[in-house]
Amino acid sequence: MQDSETIDQIDDTPIARAAQAAVQAIGRAGEGLPRPAATRVIVVANQKGGVGKTTSTVNMAAALAMHGLRVLVVDLDPQGNASTALGIDHHAEVPSIYDVLVEGKPLADVVQPVVDVEGLFCVPATIDLAGAEIELVSLVARESRLQRAIAAYEQPLDYILIDCPPSLGLLTVNALVAGLEVLIPIQCEYYALEGLGQLLRNVELVRAHLNPTLHVSTILLTMYDARTRLAAQVAEEVRTHFQQEVLHTAIPRSVRISEAPSYGQTVLTYDPGSTGALSYLEAARELAMRAVPAGGGGSLVGQQRDGEPGRSAPMAQHGTTEGNR
């Protein structure tokens, strides 16, 4: 029989810790998450490409929906990768976010349900969105067109996640004006913080002039490889800079996460037991359990539900009104 010291050493190995975390995550997967008092509109942004932005958007959204919440993903990237990952058709003739921003079509006319996940919905992006940056320049209230569309959407939602393109143009500005919180995915690789300063400055500019309720609420570490010293160093550096915002859960490098979009799925439906799926479940739980700071604004969308007090009507509370923007 092994003595207790030997058993403790075995239990402290990386594989044992990962197994224990997996067991805990699976055990909590069936538990519901509290509904926010008001719709949380979260902008997922990072001007640096290849950081896992779209992957994090769709998987966090799916994880929240699987916990019984109603979630809408707005695909604001002309590449339409979020639409692909959710199995949503987004060829040129499909009504999309382009029609909402440029043509003024109601958001309800372009929302599509995600077949694999109950409670998850998507506003697709088509290639037409590539020209929207130029077309928006001449339009009235060009920075707040998405905000107006979301405010007019009457279906109750718990979360709206907006997937931004890897740039700081008018599409991203529309997202920042419409949002309440910013979630920044940062990859655990060299140059992880490169370009982040400009994004934070843009957030402050939007906060100062267009949307006083906007704030960076969450930073998610992605592509974490526990076998490398570099990943640990980057994670430590990010946690030093952003002590309160960084989630405890880091998303590991995972073949399953990379494979899932090619099947039109999130990793949570493609391989629910994989480390990537379990990590996103934990990250979503952390996000949901974080309270919105006082004065952070209220609901943009969602009528009051039966038996659910405190749901605000559209435009009831957002900290700013159209008149003072």
More reliable by pLDDT, 9 or 144: 144
Token pair for residue 258? 């990379």
pLDDT band at 325 (very low <50, low <70, confident <90, very high): very low
Edge-to-edge order in the sheet of strand 112-113:
112-113, 120-123, 71-75, 159-163, 40-44, 181-187, 215-222
Helix (H) or strand (E) holding 101: helix 97-101
Number of C-beta neighbours around residue 220 at 10 A: 28
| Sign of the alpha-carbon torsion through 284, 286, 291, 295 | negative
Is residue 42 within 8 A of residue 161, CB to CB? The reply is yes
More confident position, 300 or 189: 189
Locate 282 and state its tokens: 């934990």
Residue range 36-292 in CATH 3.40.50.300: yes
Task: Provide the CB-side half-sphere exposure for 94 (13 A, CA).
Answer: 18
Average pLDDT over residues 30-55: 89
Q: What is the pLDDT of residues 274-314, one digit of tens each?
A: 999 999 999 999 999 986 544 444 434 554 333 333 333 33
Per-residue confidence (pLDDT) for residue 38, from 0 to 100 = 93
Domain boundaries, the chain: 36-292
Of residues 265 and 11, more confidently modeled: 265
- pLDDT tier for residue 31 given thresholds of 50, 70 and 90: low
Please, what is the average pLDDT of the chain?
83
